[in-house]
Amino acid sequence: MSKELSKIDKLASLDELHFLLLEILTDTRGIPKEDLSSLCIRKSVNLRFSFENTVLFLSVFSIIDVNSDGSISKSRAISWETIQTHKDLATLILTKIFSYLEQSTQLELVFGKKVIEPGKHEDLILYSNRIPLHFSCIRIFLLNAGIVTIDQNLPNRLVVEKKYEEYFRSILTSKNEVSESVVKISPPESKPVEIPESRGFNFFISYSFKDEGYKVALTSHFKGLIGKGRIKAWDGRAILPGEDWDQEIKHKLEEADVILFLVSSDFMDSDYIHDVEIKHALERYDRKEVKIIPVILRPCDFDSLPLNKHLAIPTGKKPISLWPNTDEAYLDVVKHIKRMLDLT
**What tens digit of pLDDT does each residue of 233-260 get?**
999 888 877 778 888 899 999 999 999 9
Identify which of 107, 117, 91 has the alpha carbon closest to the alpha carbon of residue 169. 117
For residue 294, pLDDT over 90 is answered with yes
In this structure, the dihedral spanned by the alpha carbons of residues 64, 67, 73 and 79, taken in order and rounded to 10 degrees, is -60
The answer, as to whether pTM is greater than 0.85, is no
pLDDT band for position 3 (50/70/90)?
low
Enter the DSSP assignment of 228.
T
For residue 79, what pLDDT is reported?
Answer: 81
Asked if residue 20 lies in contact with residue 54, where contact means CB atoms within 8 angstroms, the answer is yes
Residue ranges making up the domain that contains 248? 201-340
Alpha-carbon distances, residue 272 vs 126, 207, 269, 305 (angstroms): 47, 11, 9, 14
Asked if residue 129 lies in contact with residue 156, where contact means CB atoms within 8 angstroms, the answer is yes
Identify which of 227, 229, 253, 228 has the alpha carbon closest to the alpha carbon of residue 239. 253
Cα(first)–Cα(last) distance of the chain, in Å?
Answer: 14
For residue 344, what pLDDT is reported?
Answer: 60
- The answer to whether residue 151 is domain-embedded is no
Question: What distance in Å separates the CA atoms of residue 275 and residue 285, rounded to the nearest whole number?
Answer: 16
What does the pLDDT average to over 80-105? 84
> Which of 24, 55, 82 delimits the end of a domain?
82
List Cβ<8 Å contacts ≥24 apart for 132-137: 132/2, 133/6, 134/2, 134/3, 134/5, 134/6, 135/2, 135/5, 135/6, 135/106, 135/109, 135/110, 136/6, 136/8, 136/9, 137/5, 137/6, 137/8, 137/9, 137/11, 137/53, 137/57
Mean pLDDT across the chain = 84
For residue 15, what pLDDT is reported?
Answer: 92
- The answer to whether residue 270 is domain-embedded is yes
For residue 182, pLDDT over 70 is answered with no
- The answer to whether residue 280 is domain-embedded is yes
- CATH code: domain of residue 206: 3.40.50.10140
CB-based burial of residue 312 (10 Å sphere; 0-12 exposed, 13-18 middle, 19+ buried)? Answer: buried
- The answer to whether residue 188 is domain-embedded is no
**Strands 116-118, 124-127: pairing kind:** antiparallel
- The answer to whether residue 120 is domain-embedded is no
For residue 191, what pLDDT is reported?
Answer: 44
Asked if residue 228 lies in contact with residue 256, where contact means CB atoms within 8 angstroms, the answer is no
- The answer to whether residue 290 is domain-embedded is yes
For residue 171, what pLDDT is reported?
Answer: 58
- The answer to whether residue 155 is domain-embedded is no
Domain count, the chain: 2
- Of these ranges, 81-90, 148-157, 217-226, the one predicted with the greatest mean pLDDT is 217-226
Asked if residue 230 lies in contact with residue 307, where contact means CB atoms within 8 angstroms, the answer is no
Q: Any idea what the Cα angle at residue 170 is, between residues 166 and 175, rounded to 5°?
A: 165
> Which of 58, 82, 106 delimits the end of a domain?
82
Question: What distance in Å separates the CA atoms of residue 48 and residue 63, rounded to the nearest whole number?
Answer: 20
Question: What distance in Å separates the CA atoms of residue 285 and residue 317, rounded to the nearest whole number?
Answer: 21
pLDDT digits (tens, 9 = 90+) for 187-239: 334 444 544 444 578 999 999 989 999 999 999 999 888 888 889 999 988 88
- The answer to whether residue 108 is domain-embedded is no
Question: What distance in Å separates the CA atoms of residue 270 and residue 277, rounded to the nearest whole number?
Answer: 10
> Which of 36, 55, 82 delimits the end of a domain?
82
Asked if residue 313 lies in contact with residue 221, where contact means CB atoms within 8 angstroms, the answer is no
